[in-house]
Amino acid sequence: MSPTPDVTNSWIRRLRPRPDAAVRLVCFPHAGGSATYYHPLAHSPSLTPAAEVLAVQYPGRQDRRREPLVDSLSLLADQAATALEPLADRPLVLFGHSMGATLAYEVARRLGARRPAGEPRWLLVSGRRAPSRFRGGTVHLRTDTELVEELRRVGGTDPAFLDDPELLETILPVVRNDYRAIEGYRWTPVPPLTCPITALVGDRDPQTTLDEAAAWKQHTSGAFELRDFAGGHFYLDAHRQGVADAVSRVLERVARPMETLGGNGR
């Protein structure tokens, strides 16, 4: 059983508390996901001890299930950025998968706009095309049966949940809401981030091609790296060690205060 995460505020869960950590890793879940999805990453033996691991808990799920769902990615980004500001006394690294990648990017933008040097030190994006690469989407308009079929197709949801009518009654409204949020998102051209970006992607991801993942390079003036793994949209479930290693390398670099990151001296 996963350990119960510490609650910092209604938005943030401390999956691996490290009061004296040199850097904080903040994880953003996928559509329909929750903070606990990142327990395996947080407790990976290969993840550097230099980092504290936090995860964002969106409204309307798990311990926030009685709160109204938010179907606007912009509003989610506004609220999540506000929740993270008090934790920016340590260098932040943001990591998001799927919808969480786009949300992490928008939070990074907001943190940078709110105060000098407020950007996170690094942005890791997984399983999501660059914001500038738009694809239309109508998954949120599908019937419940069609929505379940989509969840089976992309993976990431325990099949036992999808076969349980009572659990589906709880899951589907959250999934539909999150798809509405990400499918309604439109990127507005803005100056690129200055922090480095690392993009991770499965080489058979139906939602993100390698070319669409490589386009994240356009969203930073700093360093960029693309890492591909064998697998589909939830490749990271089969490559937990490899993902943890990739994240750990970034955290180790940020934890070294004298190292120049991405050629921008931050």
Q: Which residues are catalytic?
A: 98
Rounded Cα distance between 58 and 65, Å, is 9
DSSP the chain: -PPPPEESSSSEEEEE--TT-SEEEEEE--TT--GGGGHHHHT-TTS-TTEEEEEE--TTSGGGTTSPP---HHHHHHHHHHHHGGGTTS-EEEEEETHHHHHHHHHHHHHHHHSTT-S-SEEEEES---TTS-----GGGS-HHHHHHHHHHH--S-HHHHT-HHHHHHHHHHHHHHHHHHHT------PPBSS-EEEEEETT-TT--HHHHHGGGGGBSS-EEEEEESSSTTHHHH-HHHHHHHHHHHHHHHH-TTS--TTTT-
Two tokens at 173?
Answer: 């409204």
Count how many residues are written for the chain. 266
Which residues, including other chains, have CB under 8 Å from residue 89's CB and lie 6 or more apart? none
What are residue 229's DSSP bridge partners?
A: 202
**Measured over all CA atoms, what is the biggest interatomic distance in the chain, rounded to whole angstroms?**
54
CB-based contact 82:100 (threshold 8 Å): no
